[in-house]
Structure formats: structure tokens, C-alpha cells
Amino acid sequence: GAGVSQSPRYKVAKRGQDVALRCDPISGHVSLFWYQQALGQGPEFLTYFQNEAQLDKSGLPSDRFFAERPEGSVSTLKIQRTQQEDSAVYLCASSQYRGGETQYFGPGTRLLVL
């Protein structure tokens, strides 16, 4: 069956530009997570959805970061006025019911801000 997919796989943005990253979770999965992974580091939690409800956004680094999942399936992570420190791989994961279960990760979107 299809796994978690993310698009685009690579994105180059000029500083100050807005970007939108898309995540398609496994069909029927209730929970969806976004992570940011800097080079040589482990992923860092950004935000968590259960269906369309954003239950935890404590990891979002600033108010320039915004995530939504309006219909409880596809999710979009938006970064406004990108800065060089936003350059990282953004990973999306989904799990069948709730947090604490096995998470299935997408391949990530590699964002480079120049």
C-alpha cells in the first residue's frame, strides 16, 4: 500500500519568500506529525494533529510557521518570510490512531533558503 508522501522533495527559496510543504499521510491514519531535521541532528518535533485538530504546536519555532490539516487527511506546513536558519529537512509522519504508536515517516522535503 502507499506510504506517507511529501512534496516537493526539494525546495530552494530566497530569503523572505513564503513556502508551503505538503504531506499526504497513509489513508485512514488519524495522527499526523511534523518534524524539522537539521543536518547531522535528530528530528525535532514541530506539531501534531489528531484528525483536523492541532493538539500540540509547542515545537513551532516562531509565528512564521503555520500548519493545517483542514479535512483531517492532507496537511500543509507553511513558512512565511523564510530565513536561512529555516534550511532543514522537514519530515512528516502518521500513525493509525494516536501518538505513542509506531509512526510511519515520509521521505521529507529538503528546504534550502538562500
Q: Could you say which of 18, 52, 85, 101 contacts other proteins (CB under 8 A)?
A: 101
Q: Which three cell numbers stand for residue 74?
A: 492532507
1 contributes a contact to other proteins by CB under 8 A: no
Report whether the peptide linkage leading into residue 8 is cis, meaning its omega lies within 30 degrees of zero: yes
46 contributes a contact to other proteins by CB under 8 A: no
Q: Which three cell numbers stand for residue 93?
A: 509522519
Distance CA 87, CA 104 (A): 23
Q: Could you say which of 16, 18, 41, 81 contacts other proteins (CB under 8 A)?
A: 41
Q: Which is nearer to other proteins, 4 or 67 (CB)?
A: 4
Q: Which is nearer to other proteins, 42 or 70 (CB)?
A: 42
CB atoms within 10 A of CB 68: 14
Q: Could you say which of 32, 35, 69, 75 contacts other proteins (CB under 8 A)?
A: 35
Distance CA 72, CA 79 (A): 20
25 contributes a contact to other proteins by CB under 8 A: no
